[in-house]
Amino acid sequence: MRLSLSVLLLLSSVGIALAQTREQAVAAARDGRVEQGISELRSLIAAGDTSPNTAYDLAVLLVSAKRPREATEVFERIGTTDTPEYVLLAMTRAYWDQRRYEDGERLARRGLAAFPANRDWSKLFGLIAGEAADHSGDVYTALRYYGDAIRQLPEDRDLRNAAAGLLARMGAPYAASSILGQPDAGLDAQKAATMVRWGDQVRPPALELRFAGTDAALARLDELIAKASATESPDAGLIARLRRDRVVALRDRERWSDAVTQAEALRRDGDRLPIYVRLAEADSLLALRRPSEARAAFEEVIAAEPQSQNALIGRFYAEVEDEDFRAAFATADTEAARQSPTSRSSNAAVIIPNPDWLGDRITAGQARNYAEMNADAWWRLYPLSQQAPALGYLRAAVGSVAAARGWPRLAAEEVEIAASLAPQDLGGQIALAEYALRLRNYAEARKSATDLERLYPANASVQRLARDIDSFDRFEFRTESHSYAENGSVLADAPGDGFDTINRIYSPPIANNWRLVGGFDASYAHPEEGPVNRYRIGGGLEWRIPSFTMEATGWSNTGGLNRGSASVVANWSPTDHWNLGGSAELYSAETPLRAVLNGITGDSVRLSAGYDWQESTGLAANVGVMDFSDGNHRVSGGFYFVQRLVDNPHLKLTLRPELYASANTKADAPYFNPSRDLSVVPGFDLTHILWRRYEHSFSQRVTGGVGAYWQQGFGTDAIVTATYEQIYGVSPNTDLHYGATYARRAYDGELVNSVSFLLGLSRRF
């Protein structure tokens, strides 16, 4: 009996001592000596303390020391379900800190059931369950958990912050701001960024208001930048985000120069531009006609985001405008090859058309059109338009190619269809105006261009259309001069050395379809008989209506002969393929100067007809009659055929065989007039664009041929002609060309070599 009592007293004193030691450890932790408290509690457990309270206290202190994994390891070894609330709260947070959401939710549910009066459990469960759902990607379930908890604790800031943060990440800053219920600079910045996006995506009821949303976004960004910059300690990150969004808004507002300037300013300030800002800068550089810089920017975006369709399309257009068509073809064809005609629906049960497949093939076809490889473009785009006849921008693309192939009526028909399918599409509206101009519906074209320029003043295509209309409304001056030099001694039948110049000036349109025309021509030659010249000055009217042009002029001639002359020239295109022409002239400009020297004039009539299958294949024939005042009657005619053999972006080679024949009724005239002659020359035309940047270009051209010339009574001789010419597109309104020609011809059996030089200018002012 005494022994039992002694054991009980001993155990009681040990328990009291252990409890006092545990309390001392906890007190040390409360005094800020957390690690000491943890060490002492671990020592107690190691010495055999099996009290759950000691383990609970150790687990709680480990949570305080931010060692949640160790805390939950201790907690899991206790093995009891009768857990005090303060321990359960700490362990729930410890599991949450480790993102062990399932365990955290399990303890939170225990707390809700065991301690329903403590609303902290509702908060904790909402936060953990919400974060778990968010972490798994189920953001809407996360919002539901946050919302349920907020309804129970409407004033709790942690719950509102969690819900607002999730909404902000979901791109709903206005909802986040409403949940948060207090000012927040970050959310204000995000709301301004949303305004930028809405300004670009939301279409207002009137086109005149299409920038209203973007203008409002810019105003708000400027306000926030000023506010953030004026604080005592400006938030550099916040200001940088606002400035980046401003670059995007400036791009959307078509303030291209401002967008590039602001992007460069960010870069100077040490900001490494995010991809979305670099893309906005690239778009702006392309709009500013800086394609090489734009290409580099688009490449940077693609390197970071290889599937960015905006960057891929932007790079394609930069390559086109940089005249690097090999790269443009590679870009378009690679994207087209990646796609298949169909794809499966989201549930993989239904096969549906793949719009990207069609879009990429349209782009590949347009690439050939931009490179002036129009036959290739046509056979790529036309079949697609038969399979997708209601796709507006495809019909517009087909119309563009049709126009380039010399089919203006078909082009206008396609463009009208495209405009009816997509009446708000800017490209279609521009195309309608362009084809109205091409078809000589000048009043309609001018009105359309004026309306578009008012609505889209910064658009490059609209500006080009406005320039075309402006060019049409200007004076036009054309001049071309040739000098001729023949080799050897004076030849009895050759025209002789000489010079000629032809100059025309046209007025701006009068009542849209009329133009005044004036001109001055001069011709000089030095045949065997001596020098002779002819000067013409005069003018008249030009009349232009759809498919028909006529010019009637009267002239005063001086020099070898002083007398008047008149001419009428008309051209008619009844279809997209047929071209008919005719001219009649009293004292024709074709009258040889040797005839003029001998007081002889000639009146002429000429008719022509041509059929062009497309821009690269066609044929034409002409026949003319000239009656000379000395009684000679000349009939002449010709035929030629053209076929393009090489059709590359900067190189075109066309075969051009020609046949010419004439007959004269009078022999021994004092000018070259073979009784019968015939020439056959397989000619060619090679054009090479050396450099081109938008409206400015520099190219070279070689034309010529080697053939045979037969003259009755003198047999057959080989003839040669070769011309080298350079063409400089100085500006949209000025073209300059110059070159030299070598010719080997036969006159009554005598071969004559000649060299001529030419200089020409076309200028609108």
Q: What is the pLDDT of residues 58-93, one digit of tens each?
A: 999 999 999 999 999 999 888 777 889 999 999 999
Q: Could you give the percent of the chain with pLDDT greater than 90?
A: 71
Classified as helix, coil or strand, 504 is: strand
d(C-alpha 314, C-alpha 310), whole Å: 6
Q: Could you give the percent of the chain with pLDDT greater than 70?
A: 96
Classified as helix, coil or strand, 444 is: helix
d(C-alpha 559, C-alpha 524), whole Å: 9
- So what's the pLDDT on residue 348? 61
**Per-residue model confidence as pLDDT tens digits over 602-646:** 999 999 999 999 999 999 999 999 999 999 999 999 999 999 999
d(C-alpha 437, C-alpha 448), whole Å: 10
E-strand spans in 215-277? none
Average pLDDT over residues 110-118: 91
CB distance 667 to 675 below 8 Å: yes
Output the CA angle 36-39-42, nearest 5 degrees: 150
User: Most confidently modeled of 53-57, 344-348, 353-357, 474-478?
Assistant: 474-478
pTM over 0.85: no
Strands 715-731 and 651-664: unpaired
d(C-alpha 174, C-alpha 194), whole Å: 9
Would the pLDDT of 6 be above 60?
A: no
Question: Rounded mean pLDDT of the chain?
Answer: 91
Would the pLDDT of 752 be above 70?
A: yes
Would the pLDDT of 163 be above 60?
A: yes
- So what's the pLDDT on residue 742? 97
